[in-house]
Amino acid sequence: MSQVEIATPKTRRKAQGVGANEGSIARIRELAQARVAIEGVEPMIDAGRFAVKRLAGETLTVSADIFTDGHEIIDAALITRGAGDADWRETPFTFLTNDRWAASVSFDRPGPYRYSIIAWRDVFATWASDTKKKRNAGVDIALELREGQILLEKAAASGRGSKDDQKRLKALRARIDKLAAKGGGDALYEAMTEADTALLLREVGVRENLSRFEIDVPVWVDREAAGFSAWYELMPRSQSGDVNRHGTFDDVIKRLPDIEEMGFDVLYFPPIHPIGKTNRKGKNNNVTAQEGEPGSPYAIGSAEGGHKDLHPELGSFADFQRLVTRAADHGLEIAIDFAIQCSPDHPWIKEHPDWFDWRPDGSIKYAENPPKKYQDIVNVDFYAGGAIPWLWLELRDVVLFWLDKGVRIFRVDNPHTKPFPFWEWMIAEVRERDPGAVFLAEAFTRPKLMKRLAKVGYNQSYSYFTWRNRKWELREYLTELTTAECAEFMRPNFFVNTPDINPLFLQTSGRPGFQLRLALAATLAGNYGVYSGFELCESEPLAPGKEEYLNSEKYEIRAFDWRAPGNIREDIRFFNRIRRSEPALRDFRNLEFYNFWNDEILYYGRRTPDLSSFLLVMVSLDPHHPQGGHFEVPLWEFDLPDNGSVKVEDLVTGQQFVWSGKVQHWWFRPDERPYAVFRISV
Amino acid sequence: MSQVEIATPKTRRKAQGVGANEGSIARIRELAQARVAIEGVEPMIDAGRFAVKRLAGETLTVSADIFTDGHEIIDAALITRGAGDADWRETPFTFLTNDRWAASVSFDRPGPYRYSIIAWRDVFATWASDTKKKRNAGVDIALELREGQILLEKAAASGRGSKDDQKRLKALRARIDKLAAKGGGDALYEAMTEADTALLLREVGVRENLSRFEIDVPVWVDREAAGFSAWYELMPRSQSGDVNRHGTFDDVIKRLPDIEEMGFDVLYFPPIHPIGKTNRKGKNNNVTAQEGEPGSPYAIGSAEGGHKDLHPELGSFADFQRLVTRAADHGLEIAIDFAIQCSPDHPWIKEHPDWFDWRPDGSIKYAENPPKKYQDIVNVDFYAGGAIPWLWLELRDVVLFWLDKGVRIFRVDNPHTKPFPFWEWMIAEVRERDPGAVFLAEAFTRPKLMKRLAKVGYNQSYSYFTWRNRKWELREYLTELTTAECAEFMRPNFFVNTPDINPLFLQTSGRPGFQLRLALAATLAGNYGVYSGFELCESEPLAPGKEEYLNSEKYEIRAFDWRAPGNIREDIRFFNRIRRSEPALRDFRNLEFYNFWNDEILYYGRRTPDLSSFLLVMVSLDPHHPQGGHFEVPLWEFDLPDNGSVKVEDLVTGQQFVWSGKVQHWWFRPDERPYAVFRISV
């Protein structure tokens, strides 16, 4: 650090010599190019380290601070480029205020894109503006007109713009030369400053001091299923209708019409691979299974195979492929589980011992969260001796294997206990083959880890929704999800329940609780999910205060009467229907909370930018008592005064009426229905 | 873009072949290194494009989100490095909450630094924690103890830490081997988990998955004058005391004791170079000067020279050097103006016509802001034919020239009308020679341009302070300056007036207005400045409603009676004295506004982190009427209850007393003094 002390006059003089100037001159040339400052660029995740996400067709609005020194007029363009594009595409920026500019684009196909920004000094527009001011002030502008002509010559010389534009420029210059030859004056001034000239010069004018934002910001574009999907989860082995008979893929095929009728898009199965026998878990997570018990499907791998194999009792690959095809016929896409843990019988343990952790006594390390130990599961070690690259490649190939079988959606078990770099690498590898592959992160962990998983590539994320029941906490959480930076890369999937989560709220709420949680999930998130049994209002816990189901399908085969009385299939159909018919429900970020003067009623709007689909949703959060009160109709969103009127359609009942005035009233009875959905228009 | 469509099974299989895996494996190895995520790093300006600024000795606290997958314990270190340092220096991070970590450092010398972050999985700490949990749960830990010993072996093999630490490790291992040989048990467990072992292993333990933040974040460290200085501005030519005699550097030398007595640190002169004759401006900015009028010092350059020359009537270089030396004897550092504009007589115009803009008729382009035209000034064009690199180099050399004459502080005129890249380059070049060079940006322009100038290297910035008079706007503006991101790189210099700004407020406020604006400037910003005449409460405007001085020194020689009655020299002495004696006033970002229940009284605290210097400042913003009321004593900052007591010293009067209870009362009479400063302690 001694060098940074004040230089003596002698060393200073030396530094000014020719040698020192060589580096100085190189730095001048490098820096001088960026005369127009471009900063505060949004959206951008960690300075472009991770991609912003959009769905195909969805709008991406980029904004930035763009300015230069002095008073010259500037202009700017958003440039975008897909992986296979030969060149960048330009979209003009619009000036907002306070040196802020914005431009919007959308991308029509899934895949990787980049955007950046160029900006320049618009010499012709500056000339026109200055000349107008001088003329208005009575200054002689003869010299200015000559300067303007020189700018037109430079524009012609630069050759920018289309052939047609250059032709137009040629004609303009000929006309102007004639006017100048006649002595110039007002006619010349008019020709050079008329609207058409300004428009033409925007296309062909010289872009002086063309500057470029230094980062190419990555954008990942997904197909719609990544951001807008209704999931139905079931255990194939419980679909026979008989607890004594292991369900098969064919049993699942029989259930497809039923699931289609409810209106779901995605049909998701927990692991369908061979289940280990060593330390197999019994009913209700008993540490030892009785003879004949099926074990947990999450203990993957046995003598019958591993992650690239099917549990034999479910059926053959032919059966599975038939299921995939038939599901598609019913508008359903199959999602499977990608759970990296292994049973102690998994073939990898013998074939690739260097993918695992071995203890000094030669035993293998079981999964644990000390002092808890999961005896039916061992974990691979991603940094074990032979894991890099072979384990990573094999895990990637597992996903590619199922992709090959027609599965393009993967729900990933506990991704936060596996290295983030693995996910980043693996997801990128899969997407090179299929940019439509979708990964849902089942991470119920700390907020920053959940966000990181979304950053490294997950298309969808489980959320804290299951534990958010009060009005204030739902507002707070949804406001974060829809407006904080994470909205640019993390898309929640609101599951109302899962095989692991039997929400405490539902254990005492009765049927209205299931209806209201469904209403929230289906209208607050682009992606939402239901684990079968929910439609039957199943909620018996393993023990009081426990968040696990009694007699969970994770450890035994169950049979259900899917039409049992008290089911909420009609509610599910309703929400899945309006999700498809109402464009307002597609982008989860268009959420706006409105006032309902009752702390038990959550009230919010979802709308398209053009207001052509504008829904108001009210949900009573109280499953036990009638709730109601006054609320505000957001007349201001239509620029209407407080005494204005909107047409209303009650989407549940089909009734149509008019709300006149901003304050209206509504009432819920839990024995009817704890939600209301209105479509409003002017 | 057609490539991104869904790959067919055939192409997929091909992609999985050996060729494709080569790239895949390279990407694994690259990504796998960063197993610990490091993100949300603060402070960092534009992803490290620009430097964070600190003064030598000032604290830099870096915070970041640091986490990894799974439940392993992690650790992290801030690494810092100066330009001449052989290696990085480590400072341990401390865990805060919610995966947030922080570490603080300071730098003792001016110059360029970098910081980054490393983080790793602490395998030994994880082992100790897990083993403790298992032991507490009654699990046999014999195998765990063996595993712990292996970790110690690995630590020894890695050789990390000092020689002493490795010696300690050797001793520890010998002790542990002995205990193990005796059968292990509790004594072995204790030895391996005692506090000293944990401490030692923090130094020598293996850093598994050592990960590094990808950006080396630049930090620029300044000498104190860049962030803490009291400026006094005067026109040397007006220091003779006689309007008929041009002042000289020797006249300025005579005034040094007077300026020292007021307590200033920096003595700043507007341009001292030869003044052009062509189109010279007369008194009160008259477009034509009378014979004998001195002209504006901002019209730089004549037959007598340019930016590297002195106006002959001020004196010789010998005189100037004497002034610099004598000023230093009086504790004053000389600052000069760097104003890039030229008079039409500047030697550069003939010597370097290719640094200027020429019009088609062969005339030179005057400075203008259409329809306004500045006839006595022409501007260089930084992008003209010969400007790059020669103009840029010459301008740099002008600064180096004056640096050589002992000037290290430059107030730069209108930098926002010159290219940002020029400043970035030039300031960096000068700092390579003298990291203590200080540049003050005189940019009164849009907020983002002002911030950009600070980003590209300016150490200090003029501000909007002169136009902020109401309590709400002062609070709002100061909150931005002291807490928004710009606080990391932009240091305001609160000038109370300038030759160009005769604030409207002062034109009607009378003496109390000058006192209160002084109080605000001196206690709200690290840097503040006074343009001579302010201490005499000069405020006569060129015309009613105009922000310019009548008979401005910019266009004529003035003479003043510096001891004229009604001056506020005592107030200036007071504030400059407490600025030096109270460390609380050094860092402008330690500002906290408190409640005074009167909208005309601004009330705030400034304090050191250890509270040893804790000032409360009250300023009545009303120069015309008595103002007073109740205010809150911030007892909570000392963790005192609302009925607690603090010792108080009134720094103005020297009185000492006690405030008991949170709510107290104060009163201001404009004919006394519109401010109060209290030093509080427990």
* Confidence check: pLDDT of A294 > 90: yes
DSSP string across B116-142? EEEEEEEHHHHHHHHHHHHHHTT---H
The residue with greater pLDDT, A367 or B511, is B511
Mean pLDDT of B172-181: 95
* Residue B20 pLDDT level (bands cut at 50, 70, 90): low
Specify which residues A53 forms β-bridges with.
Answer: A220
% pLDDT > 90, chain B: 93
CA distance A154 to chain B (A): 14
- Is A555 within any annotated ligand binding site? yes
Domains B22-121 and B223-340+378-581 share a fold: no
* Confidence check: pLDDT of B18 > 90: no
At the topology level of CATH, where does B123-210 sit?
Methane Monooxygenase Hydroxylase; Chain G, domain 1 (1.20.58)
* Confidence check: pLDDT of A314 > 80: yes
Q: A190 catalytic, yes or no?
A: no
Please pick, among A72, A122, A333, A442, the residue that the annotation labels catalytic: A442
Cα A172 versus chain centre, distance: 49
Give the pLDDT of residue B375: 82
| Cα–Cα distance, A35 to A120 (Å, whole number) | 8
* Confidence check: pLDDT of A561 > 50: yes
DSSP string across A483-513? HSGGGGT--BEEES-BTTB--HHHHHH-HHH
Residue A559 three-state SS: coil
Among A residues 230-259, those touching chain B with beta carbons less than 8 Å apart: none
Q: Across chain A, what does the average pLDDT equal?
A: 95
**Tokens representing residue A226 in the block:** 């990544």
Give the pLDDT of residue A3: 33
* Residue A20 pLDDT level (bands cut at 50, 70, 90): low
Give the pLDDT of residue B370: 83
Please pick, among B122, B413, B488, B587, the residue that the annotation labels catalytic: B413
Among B residues 186-215, those touching chain A with beta carbons less than 8 Å apart: 208-209, 214-215
Pinpoint the alpha helices (H) of B558-681. Answer: 569-581
Cis previous bond, B270, omega within 30: no
Mean pLDDT of B392-414: 98
CATH class of B22-121: mainly beta
Give the nearest chain B residue to A209 (CA atoms): B383
Mean pLDDT of A117-143: 96
Cα B236 to Cα B201, B310, B323, B398, B401: the distances in Å are 66, 12, 11, 21, 20
Q: Which CATH architecture group holds A591-681?
A: Sandwich (2.60)
* Confidence check: pLDDT of A487 > 80: yes
Model pLDDT for residues A339-358, shown as the tens digit of each residue: 999 999 999 999 999 999 99
* Residue B367 pLDDT level (bands cut at 50, 70, 90): confident
Give the pLDDT of residue A14: 43
**Tokens representing residue A661 in the block:** 């005035």
CA angle A590, A591, A594 (to 5 degrees): 140
Specify which residues B105 forms β-bridges with.
Answer: B60
Mean pLDDT of A572-591: 97
Mean pLDDT of B13-41: 81
* Residue A84 pLDDT level (bands cut at 50, 70, 90): confident
Give the pLDDT of residue B481: 98
Strands (DSSP E) contained in B339-456 are 366-369, 372-378, 409-413, 438-442
* Confidence check: pLDDT of A9 > 90: no
**In chain A, what's the furthest Cα-to-Cα distance?**
107
Does the distance separating the beta carbons of B31 and A448 come in below 8 Å?
Answer: no
Contacts of B368 in chain A (CB under 8 A): 130
**Tokens representing residue A232 in the block:** 């139905």
Size of interface A-B (CB pairs under 8 A): 263
Mean pLDDT of B620-648: 98
CA distance B389 to chain A (A): 6
Mean pLDDT of A143-150: 96
Mean pLDDT of A52-67: 98
* Confidence check: pLDDT of B640 > 80: yes
| Cα–Cα distance, A681 to A635 (Å, whole number) | 10
Q: Across chain B, what does the average pLDDT equal?
A: 95
| Cα–Cα distance, B60 to B91 (Å, whole number) | 12
Give the pLDDT of residue B17: 47
What are the backbone angles phi and psi of residue B346, rounded to the nearest 5°? -65, 135
Does the distance separating the beta carbons of A85 and B109 come in below 8 Å?
Answer: no
% pLDDT > 90, chain A: 93
Give the pLDDT of residue A18: 44
| Cα–Cα distance, A669 to A625 (Å, whole number) | 7
Give the pLDDT of residue A376: 86
Strands B333-338 and B409-413: parallel
Give the pLDDT of residue A7: 34
Closest CB to A25: pick one of B65, B98, B389: B389
Model pLDDT for residues B434-472, shown as the tens digit of each residue: 999 999 999 999 999 999 999 999 999 999 999 999 999
Among A residues 48-87, those touching chain B with beta carbons less than 8 Å apart: 48-49, 65, 67-71, 82-85
| Cα–Cα distance, B336 to B256 (Å, whole number) | 16
| Cα–Cα distance, B451 to A92 (Å, whole number) | 26
Kindly list the domain boundaries of chain B, sorted by start residue: 22-121, 123-210, 223-340+378-581, 591-681
Q: B442 catalytic, yes or no?
A: yes
Closest CB to A369: pick one of B13, B15, B71: B71
Cα B245 to Cα B240, B241, B309: the distances in Å are 6, 8, 21
| Cα–Cα distance, B161 to B170 (Å, whole number) | 12
Pinpoint the alpha helices (H) of B211-342. Answer: 249-262, 317-329
Does the distance separating the beta carbons of A1 and B49 come in below 8 Å?
Answer: no
Model pLDDT for residues B115-127, shown as the tens digit of each residue: 999 999 999 999 9
End-to-end CA distance of chain A: 70
Give the pLDDT of residue B368: 84
Model pLDDT for residues A488-538, shown as the tens digit of each residue: 999 999 999 999 999 999 999 999 999 999 999 999 999 999 999 999 999
Give the pLDDT of residue B21: 85
Decide: residue B563, CB within 10 A, 0-12 exposed, 13-18 middle, 19+ buried: exposed
* Confidence check: pLDDT of B10 > 70: no
* Confidence check: pLDDT of A148 > 50: yes
Cα B357 versus chain centre, distance: 36
* Confidence check: pLDDT of A17 > 70: no
Closest CB to B69: pick one of A67, A83, A416: A416
* Confidence check: pLDDT of A679 > 90: yes
* Confidence check: pLDDT of A552 > 50: yes
CB within 8 Å of A532: residues ≥ 6 apart: A232, A233, A234, A235, A560
ipTM here? 0.94
* Confidence check: pLDDT of B4 > 50: no
CATH class of B223-340+378-581: alpha beta
Residue A325 three-state SS: helix
DSSP string across B236-270? GGG-SS-TTS---HHHHHHHHHHHHHHT-SEEEES
Give the pLDDT of residue B371: 80
Does the distance separating the beta carbons of A109 and B25 come in below 8 Å?
Answer: no
Contacts of A215 in chain B (CB under 8 A): 47
CA distance A362 to chain B (A): 11
* Confidence check: pLDDT of B200 > 50: yes
| Contact in structure between A124 and A201 (CB atoms under 8 Å) | yes
Mean pLDDT of B326-331: 98
